[in-house]
Structure 1
């Protein structure tokens, strides 16, 4: 579950902070790049590229409200009929891709591009494929709000729409002369001057709060760090030099075995032969007396 949430947040972050690369100069491809999620846009992009490479005009007819245009598909070797209403921009293709997958097909893209349509009509932008599908409130048939929906989400949705319009406009004018970019920059500067703060400078914390849109809490509760105990981390080996220094600092005591003042006693005396040896010569006397007894 945590892995799924992390993946979902990563995809949402990529969709909000980046735009996919377009392959054609169609306005109908640039506009969905700011609205659709990356995964669906790449599927829609295939239809845009295929509309330029495989579609061509066929016969046409009209009635009182719509025009019926035949579009020849060179890849599928089939002719499809598109019913197009120039007033409402409603288009319905006989391949029924929109009914099956939720986005318009290459035949409708070819018709709309030929009519000079620069954006996908709203009726063909399903909310389930857009970036802001989770941020929109849901209502029942009686107009009542379903579930908990924070009012702050409305402002986030509006800000997201502003970014969408900005990137869409920037994508349109970057291929135009430089004066259009300068005009957009002047408009943004003039609009920013209306809300420019006074002479008081903002602190770093206030700038971060304004950038993120969340106010920092006054109380911060941080639990103490739990010290980890790994195998061998509690006790360490003492160096021989350190052991010699500590041994030299200890007071000496009398050893009953070697009869000397040292840092050991009779139990751990390094000279075990000293216990049997007698420097006063008592051993020789005992040997002499034993010989005399024999005689």
Structure 2
């Protein structure tokens, strides 16, 4: 399959280049976009800003206008349909712009290594993230780890053209999987952090008890108001005079 050449369905040189670099499955999707670029795409407006050309491309199949920004100096192109960012394949609108400007090959920055015929021949990485040239690896786990590192590096490379939200989602998935591999299964709570710092767990036997409550607001008797003092004084028996004592 790697050495066979698919049937070309258009006159576009960029389709021939896609057949040379892409694997068969990806090329089928790219070829469909190339065919649609001929029959369904037309210009509906053109503006220039500095070194950039902005073209409004009408997609007859979808009945939608898309804006394609193209830089002739660097061959950089972006389309409002965002297919390149989502799938890593040029959309029909960008292919139409390239064909109109005589571009015959897919720019190198838009060839995703993962979709190429020689993707399996790309550099592999060991468990430390370092490139390895050793192909005589016998251990099955080591091979699986190397393949995993290669997949991670290729995926991170694909995220270069993605939106920040896609990068955050991928990072969140990595963190979730990391938590699953953690011995505790989740981030350390406050008690677990203290145990890790002091190197021991709290004792289950309680030997120190809290002190008994004590009164700290005087003797505990309430002070009498002036009225209460006057009533108490009136009720107090009066002292007897000398006349009362001799009468």
TM-score by length of 2: 0.52
Equivalence for 1:96: 82
Question: Which portions of structure 1, spanning 4 or more consecutive aligned residues, are displaced by more than 6 angstroms?
Answer: none
Equivalence for 2:62: 76
Which is greater in Rg? 1
Cα shift at 1:64: 1.5
Q: Is structure 2 residue 130 aligned with structure 1 residue 144?
A: yes
C-alpha separation between the residues in 2 aligned to 1:124 and 1:139?
A: 23
Equivalence for 2:18: 32
What secondary structure does 2:51 align onto?
coil
C-alpha separation between the residues in 2 aligned to 1:119 and 1:93?
A: 18
Cα shift at 1:103: 0.4
What secondary structure does 2:21 align onto?
coil
Q: Is structure 2 residue 97 aligned with structure 1 residue 111?
A: yes
Aligned residues: 135
Structure with more relative contact order (C-alpha pairs < 8 Å, separation 6 or more): 2
C-alpha separation between the residues in 2 aligned to 1:138 and 1:108?
A: 32
Equivalence for 1:160: none
**Using a 3 Å threshold, how does the CA distance of structure 1 residues 72 and 144 change in structure 2: closer, same or farther?**
same
Equivalence for 1:48: 34
The 5 Å alignment of 1:1-295 reads 14-15=1-2, 17-138=3-124, 144-146=130-132, 148-149=134-135
**Using a 3 Å threshold, how does the CA distance of structure 1 residues 137 and 65 change in structure 2: closer, same or farther?**
same
Structure 2's unaligned 5+ residue stretches are 137-247
Cα shift at 1:144: 3.4
Cα shift at 1:143: 8.7
C-alpha separation between the residues in 2 aligned to 1:149 and 1:82?
A: 44
What secondary structure does 1:69 align onto?
strand
Compute the RMSD of aligned alpha carbons. Answer: 1.9
TM-score by length of 1: 0.44
